[in-house]
Amino acid sequence: MKKILLILAAIALALSLPKNAYAADKDATSGALKVDGIYLTDENNEKIQLKGVSTHGLAWFPDYVNNSMFKELHDKWGANVVRLAMYSAEYNGYCTGDSANRTQLKKLIKRGVKYASDNDMYVIIDWHILSDSNPLTYKKSAKSFFKWAAKSFKDYDNVIYEICNEPNGNTTWSDIKKYADYVIPTIRSYTDAVILVGTPTWSQDVDTISGDLLDYDNIMYTMHFYAATHKSTYRKKMLSALKAGVPVFVSEFGLSESSGNGSVSTSQANKWANLMDKYNVSYVCWSLSNKNESSALIKSTVTKTSGLKRSNLTKAGKWIFDKLNQSDT
């Protein structure tokens, strides 16, 4: 009897404790996402803005994919999304490395998804095309990779699929649509999760596709910018896309020049953030690494892969750390 009373008292106490929605809610975040008009919405159909950071190439900087790092991204930085960038071509890319490398990359992605889920964040699985310019180049590998991913993560409500980072070169919107129509039905046979689609010219031409969007639900189109290079002309492109009804997601931006290095512009980054916040556009900052380049968020002299202090961060790192901290996500 005494035991039962103690248990009842413990339950009553647990129920009366104040709940910190994020810390206490072990179900990923705000549940399954949907796209409604230009907005991303959560399981309660409320607008939601995702803000967080992207890894550098997973094969190149794998060590930041660890539970302590992801925990502090959520608890200390204030991120609600993390992007796992897996190059298809460069740096032991998925399509250029051997099969042991592919196995390794898949393991890293599984761990990344688990750490993100355990720490209440959304997670983007990014097929990071770059030097391979056209997503049709490796379309077969992409399809089988996304089949594996969608099957593995079909029961997770916090996974987002980004099917082509940055089409470039001569790649047209019609090439990208062809690729999307090749890959998306495979993903859709397992999950209705949000899918991000890159746009021509390194995902900058989001303003050129309105009136010619894909014919699936829960799709967003990506706009990427590097603040020290891409200024008001590019903000106008984003604004015009939004006004034309294109759901835009900034799945990658940097504070540096578009090379990933050179000067860093916090003033341009602030202008971008004001615009993105105004329209609830989600954004993800490149990159969670200590590479000796100004887009990296961690100083190159800092070799630890968790337990980071603000002083361990670069100018870009401090900016995004403060930005995430200020927001209520």
Active site residue 252: yes
* Contact in structure between 288 and 55 (CB atoms under 8 Å): yes
The footprint of ligand IDC on this chain (CB under 6 A) covers a number of residues equal to 16
**Position 165 contacts ligand IDC (CB under 6 A):** yes
Catalytic residue among 162, 252, 257, 293: 252
Is position 43 annotated as part of the catalytic site?
no
Smallest distance from the beta carbon of 45 to ligand IDC, in angstroms? 32
CB environment 85-102: b (16+ within 10 A), e (fewer): bbbbbebbbbbbbeeeeb
Q: Which of 157, 162, 166, 205 binds ligand IDC (CB under 6 A)?
A: 166
Residues 81-110 that bind ligand IDC (CB under 6 A): 90
Look at the chain and count its residues.
Answer: 329
Smallest gap from residue 252 Cβ to ligand IDC (A): 5
260 binds ligand IDC (CB under 6 A): yes
Please, what is the minimum distance in Å from the beta carbon of residue 166 to ligand IDC? 5
126 binds ligand IDC (CB under 6 A): no
Of 173, 218, 181, 231, the closest CA to residue 198 belongs to: 173
> Which residue's CB is nearer to ligand IDC, number 186 or number 287?
287
CB of 233 to ligand IDC, least distance (A): 16
Spatial separation of the C-alpha atoms in residues 278 and 53, rounded to whole Å: 20
Residue number with CB closer to ligand IDC (259 or 274): 259
Contact 77, 301 (CB under 8 A): no
Q: In whole angstroms, what is the distance from residue 255 CA to residue 262 CA?
A: 10
Contact yes or no for 187/194 (Cβ under 8 A): no
Strands 195-197 and 34-36: unpaired
**Residues 245, 37 contacting (CB under 8 angstroms):** yes
Contact footprint for ligand IDC (CB under 6 A): 90, 130, 165-166, 202, 224, 226, 252, 258-260, 286-287, 291, 293, 295
